[in-house]
Structure 1
């Protein structure tokens, strides 16, 4: 399937990762790109189903053509194995395109709505129209998935796009730019590389929609910049996503799935379980199961495991090291500063005061907190901000329903982790501090569209009732029709 040797790519040294200047785009160049996109959008080319379908097909072929190049870039920036790069990014993205192609026609059809008697004989419908020129700002942790999935939604809805990948994954940013430049005209899709200065320059402009994925604090800045132009935003942020393990859980399966979801991409996943709330009656057995699962998947010395992804840069590496208190380590805790590696680490925690509980971890550290029962766990979650994801491991249906009914979160799973984000039929998004808006599948098509209300009337019947002058008879008629 892959045309590159996995081991060679995964062991690329940190020193080989190139860096980009803060900005390689001038203001006049950006304004020219925006002007050409506005002209292209105004031509009406993007409105037809045929055009949108053709762009999705071209994108699918581009991903297949550039697969080897992308896998090399994943290995260079994140030390991702070829298999992880495919199933967690390329494959999921291809599935999103396939889903959009299957359903595009039905999504684009006008939606009939009931019409009240007072408006008879008119008919009412909702039509979706593209918003226009959209800005996509994406993070470094899943650089392909979180760039291309919003792009799919934007193209499906008939928009033009300016995209800025994260400068912290520079090899991937260049690979994406080259792939999309080889696929689309710049007046439809343009990828710009740069850093903070470019982001500020982009946010100073007026857009028809901004889709941002990243941290909560930067998300606030994006929302503030968008507010100056009343620009709608999709903000996919993060937060501390809890994983609740009940006394009714299958601990073997729970441990297997938690370890998979937490340590995928070295824990650098916004949806990863950020901490565990474990029922006191199964706490020790769960820790034992988690230890066994980590040793099974990563070996006795995880730092020598050739498929252990690296931490993205030294700043994040040092930040994560400070979260590991030696006295709290249940397993792991070692690191390799030269290669920016941290082994899967379990730590014991009691409350939100410990270092690993003060902020989103975004790394391979998993705190475990012992609670009396799931009611105490529920109270703990409610005391914090609304998370992007929530996971519950329990075989008790009433317990499952109680937790999912009474807790607020972006999305989640029962007896699993992460996989809800892989279903294009489900919305992906946060709530409160973890974000606003959602996309994927039809939800992405809707998010990048304006829902336009239309009443279609005829002229062969024109009731005089609504025209003045008004009197007692018309007043009674109004009350009859409108009540």
Structure 2
């Protein structure tokens, strides 16, 4: 019998039903902790005296944000400039030296970065390195002081395993299947406009794009003509000739996406042209959860619609899958949006909106669980690439003031120490 199984199951069940989430619950637990310390002060002091027994006081305490040292940034191909330079800004601002590894898949941007960027930076502190998976693997054999990787969970595990050999901290910006719940109580055309724009932006090659829609059968019937209207308005009757629709990055990804078009039933779009790496803005219906399009991040202009009978079923569907990088909810009822927010977990959340939050430097970008760890953007980038060093500076003189902490301890000195502790001017060690 596993001695921990029952305890861990009980705690996970409590977290799963949201018991720890209300602010009132958290406050009550903190108050209980305070009562524990007050009610059991003497027993705790006796126990500390039995086990260790020592105190400290005085000094100037602060946090010093220092650079880690040598940072490795491994960038993706889908936004090859933005997702290379934004973390680089944070690493430079924090005072680090940086090795920058752009994606070999976005060949044009990789070439420009390799040829031109070193001309603008101190080459004794910054370097751009090139290569594919084999070269990246060799690079990861070396010790770095911090690594930021943006890419798939599969490769993220490889990066994390390599970092673990040197106990190197990491930020992993990974992907996932981002759910989008559409409530019956909403305007289908408004939802279609927003979902279509975010889904097909950059030909769907965006890690925070809505990856699939959950809605009722009735809403699906209302949403389909609205999506068709939005797609036609955005990209015209012939989207292949629209200058506003991007292309798939390479033939390998085109073939992968073309294979996904066979899942479910094509309700909108479905056309493809290999010579132009073109996949039409597509909507799939009658999709089964077990089909390939629901087993991997799509990363293309394909949107599956899955039907659910209720909000509770949608939440259960989301929660039995890996935690996504982003989650979206559309409803005229704020309670529905808040339920999705309260009863699920994701790296980011959009209520009646898509990933426009990426334009706000006051909000971090980061995943949770399978969608990543750590965060950056704005000041969060500076903090990510900084070691938060706890510091205490004590005066060299005034030793008489410190004598109270030295043994032997008289009754008077113990009373004074207890008073200092109760006034929160002393730290117990």
- Normalising by structure 2, what TM-score? 0.82
- Per the alignment, in what secondary structure is the counterpart of residue 63 of structure 2? strand
Ranges in structure 1 where 5+ consecutive residues have no aligned partner: 1-117
Superposition CA RMSD, Å: 1.7
Aligned counterparts of 2:61 and 2:332: Cα–Cα separation in 1: 46
Name the counterpart of 2:377: 440
Q: 2:368 aligns with which of 417, 431, 441?
A: 431
Name the counterpart of 2:334: 397
Deviations 1:343-367 (A, max 9, x none): 1100014441122111111111100
> Aligned in 2, Cα 1:327/1:362: closer, same or farther, shift over 3 Å?
closer
1:419 aligns with 2:351: no
Name the counterpart of 2:402: 463
Alpha-carbon offset, residue 477 of structure 1: 4.0
Aligned counterparts of 1:179 and 1:259: Cα–Cα separation in 2: 36
Aligned counterparts of 1:249 and 1:170: Cα–Cα separation in 2: 43
1:268 aligns with 2:268: no
Name the counterpart of 1:294: 231
- Normalising by structure 1, what TM-score? 0.73
Aligned counterparts of 1:352 and 1:194: Cα–Cα separation in 2: 37
Maintained 8 Å contact 1:167/1:195? yes
Aligned counterparts of 1:326 and 1:181: Cα–Cα separation in 2: 46
Alpha-carbon offset, residue 312 of structure 1: 1.3
Alpha-carbon offset, residue 319 of structure 1: 1.0
Ranges in structure 2 where 5+ consecutive residues have no aligned partner: 1-54, 423-429
Name the counterpart of 1:451: 388
* Structure whose alpha-carbon radius of gyration is higher: 2
> Aligned in 2, Cα 1:430/1:442: closer, same or farther, shift over 3 Å?
same
Alpha-carbon offset, residue 231 of structure 1: 0.3
Alpha-carbon offset, residue 188 of structure 1: 2.2
Name the counterpart of 2:257: 320
Aligned counterparts of 2:274 and 2:288: Cα–Cα separation in 1: 29
Alpha-carbon offset, residue 327 of structure 1: 5.7
Aligned counterparts of 1:451 and 1:160: Cα–Cα separation in 2: 17
1:259 aligns with 2:200: no
- Per the alignment, in what secondary structure is the counterpart of residue 401 of structure 2? coil
Alpha-carbon offset, residue 138 of structure 1: 0.7
Alpha-carbon offset, residue 156 of structure 1: 1.2
Name the counterpart of 1:19: none
> Aligned in 2, Cα 1:326/1:397: closer, same or farther, shift over 3 Å?
closer
Name the counterpart of 2:222: 285
> Aligned in 2, Cα 1:385/1:119: closer, same or farther, shift over 3 Å?
same
Maintained 8 Å contact 2:347/2:371? yes
Maintained 8 Å contact 1:411/1:428? yes
1:481 aligns with 2:420: yes
Alpha-carbon offset, residue 433 of structure 1: 0.2
Q: 1:186 aligns with which of 107, 123, 130?
A: 123
1:377 aligns with 2:342: no
Deviations 1:396-444 (A, max 9, x none): 1221111111110001211111111221111100000000000001111
Name the counterpart of 1:215: 152
Deviations 1:212-251 (A, max 9, x none): 0000010000000000000000000000001111122232
Aligned counterparts of 1:120 and 1:334: Cα–Cα separation in 2: 72
Maintained 8 Å contact 2:57/2:402? no
Aligned counterparts of 1:399 and 1:327: Cα–Cα separation in 2: 28
Aligned counterparts of 2:402 and 2:117: Cα–Cα separation in 1: 56
Maintained 8 Å contact 1:214/1:238? yes
Aligned counterparts of 2:227 and 2:336: Cα–Cα separation in 1: 23
Aligned length: 366
Q: 1:161 aligns with which of 57, 74, 98?
A: 98
Name the counterpart of 2:299: 362
Aligned counterparts of 1:327 and 1:352: Cα–Cα separation in 2: 10
Aligned counterparts of 1:343 and 1:443: Cα–Cα separation in 2: 37
Maintained 8 Å contact 1:238/1:434? yes
- Per the alignment, in what secondary structure is the counterpart of residue 178 of structure 1? helix
- Per the alignment, in what secondary structure is the counterpart of residue 428 of structure 1? coil
> Aligned in 2, Cα 1:257/1:160: closer, same or farther, shift over 3 Å?
same
The 5 A counterparts of 1:6-21 are: none
- Per the alignment, in what secondary structure is the counterpart of residue 282 of structure 1? helix
Aligned counterparts of 1:327 and 1:465: Cα–Cα separation in 2: 76
